[in-house]
Amino acid sequence: MLDALKNKLKLAINLPSPPAIAQQIIALAGEPDADVASIAVAISKDPGLTAKILRVANSSMYSRGRKSENLRQALLLLGLSAATTLALSFSLIGTYKADTRAGIDYPRFWRRAILGASAARTFGRRAGSVNLDEVFLGSLLQDIGVMAIDRVQSDFYATLPAPATHAQWVHYERQKLGVDHAHLTGWLLRHWKLPESLCAMAEASHDPTTFDAESPLGTAARCIALGSECVEVLLAADGQAEWPKLAGQAQAWLNLGPEALAEAMNALIAEIPEIETLFDTTLLDPDIASAILEQARELLTLRNLRTIDQMTTLKASSDHLEARTTMLEDKHRRDALTGLFNRGHLDEVLVKEFQSASAGGWPLSVVFVDLDRFKLVNDTYGHPAGDTVLIATAKLLMELVRDTDCVARYGGEEFVIVLPGLDSGPAGNVCERLLIRLREARHAVPGGMIRSTASLGLATHTTRTAFANVAQLIEAADRSVYAAKNAGRDQLVRFEGANPARIV
């Protein structure tokens, strides 16, 4: 059956293969005289890939305090090894991440791949004597054989539970094929003409003891294997049951004791928000982070601690995980560009504040902020300039409100300010100050300095002018901002009374 499957893979028109840009990078990486200029030319053909490389170079993971203004600077900072590895990673994930075939859960597949690669890199830093970038890419691709099987036989994994664990994949494949997907991964990566060291470490990821523990290849294979087991803890329905196995393998493969393992897990969790941003995905939700916190506490019991310093490490570990949980919870409520609250969180706040205002008999004001002629900014100066204006406006809004207020990005160039406890008069004063600040603000964009004003619509829910529900309150503020637009822009229009038709 294995030979038949390989023949299918050789003949399959939908066999996974690197996209064109990735193939160019692979070819260049294999040339002894490859330099920054040649790699830069290849990467620059893909604007999206170029932007991602710049983002990585300027991230805290690589920047070392220096900002890269262009692709060449970024490649010089990263080095050819890291640059080619990252370019391949982004290119491959960008190509296959959106796959919707029914055989396996592709979103979970790539979530697992990125988490596993990040974990392997974290363990590699502790192990030393390995090429971290090669470990990252090797780990990212270690399960590509699963995708290859699914491409040529979409019902192959159909009888496995959903979601299947990595161990279930491996056991099932060995029963059906006599080998597991690591064998096929090695075969496929060699078919792609990737470096032999990369192929070998990915192929050995299910049995890293194939190579001597003291060799760079053996250490790399062990980091990849441990990263894979780490993901089982992060994604398992009952991660608690997986910790003893992970701790045992960390000790056996990399000589990492419980304390060292906990420190590595802390480092991994701390990096996840940035990794999520770089790969434009969500890897770990707050509930799982909370569970990991409890599991880490179990792993580092007082029986495992020997000194006061180690007890301090446990406390720092717990505090770090708690902070990570809070960060994750907040991240899911935020707009990625401006950092303001997103539409989903705004809806929750509005319902809560409307109910509280109605029950308590205090006012609730809602302000719609719509930037004037924003499309012209994008069309004239480009979308990066538009992003600059949105970010600056968000910062200005936050400077004008109280800690108890809520500022959210409603969509596009629209923002909403929720002002609990403020009647129409005080809320109007906030709006007037905002209009003045916006008129005075100047934004540096390619081509010069620009100004961006806004139209404001204000509606207030009180016992005297009550709205029946949140939807009516939002509609009133929304209609008011359109009235401000129609009246000439750069002004405030208040909604007077409970009748949406009465806009002044």
Please give the structure tokens belonging to residue 172: 């099932």
| pTM given for the model | 0.55
The answer to whether the bond into 163 is cis (omega within 30° of 0) is: yes
Q: Do the Cβ atoms of 398 and 338 come closer than 8 Å?
A: no
For residue 251, CA distances in Å to 127, 222, 245, 292 come to 12, 11, 10, 19
Q: Which of the 8 DSSP states describes residue 460? A: E
What distance in Å separates the CA atoms of residue 68 and residue 61, rounded to the nearest whole number?
13
Phi-psi map region of 372: left, alpha, beta (phi>0 left; psi -120 to 50 alpha)? beta
User: Which neighbouring-strand residues pair with 341?
Assistant: 334, 408
| Token code pair at residue 224 | 């990849």
Looking at residue 293, its pLDDT comes to: 56
CA quadruple 71, 73, 75, 78: dihedral positive or negative? negative
Q: Give the list of residues 6+ apart from residue 187 with CB closer than 8 angstroms, or none.
A: 6, 145
pLDDT given at position 262: 80
pLDDT value of position 100: 56
CA-based nearest residue to 164, from 105, 90, 250? 105
Integer Cα distance of 292 and 109 in angstroms: 21
Distance (Å, whole) CA 72 – CA 242: 44
How, if at all, do strands 414-420 and 364-371 pair? antiparallel
Sign of CA dihedral 47, 49, 53, 56: positive
Closest CA to 498 of 466, 470, 459, 471: 466
Distance CA(44)–CA(42), nearest Å, equals 6
- Looking at residue 287, its pLDDT comes to 65
106-142 in b/e form (b: 16+ CB < 10 A) is beebbbbbbbbbbbbbbbbebbeebbbbbbbbbbbbb
Q: Is 281 left (phi over 0), alpha (psi -120 to 50) or beta?
A: beta
User: Cα(349)–Cα(404) distance, rounded to whole angstroms?
Assistant: 11
| pLDDT-flagged residues of the chain (< 50) | 11-15, 301-315, 317, 499-504
> Which two structure tokens, joined as six digits, stand for 112?
């697992």
CB 42 within 8 A of CB 35: no
The CB-side HSE value for 19 (13 A sphere, CA atoms) comes to 17
| Domains of the chain, CATH where assigned | 97-331 (1.10.3210.10), 343-494 (3.30.70.270)
Beta strands in 84-177 (DSSP E): none
pLDDT number for residue 314: 45
Q: What per-residue confidence (pLDDT) applies to 113?
A: 87
> To which H or E segment does residue 353 belong?
helix 343-360
Measure the CA–CA gap between 259 and 311, rounded to whole angstroms.
10
The Cα–Cα gap between 157 and 147 comes to 11
pLDDT of residue 253: 92
Q: What is the pLDDT of residues 278-324, one digit of tens each?
A: 777 788 776 665 666 566 556 554 334 343 344 444 445 455 555 55
- pLDDT at position 57: 75
Q: Write 315-321 long-range contacts (CB < 8 A, 24+).
A: 317/262, 317/263, 317/266, 318/293, 320/266, 320/269, 320/270, 321/266, 321/269, 321/289, 321/292, 321/293, 321/296
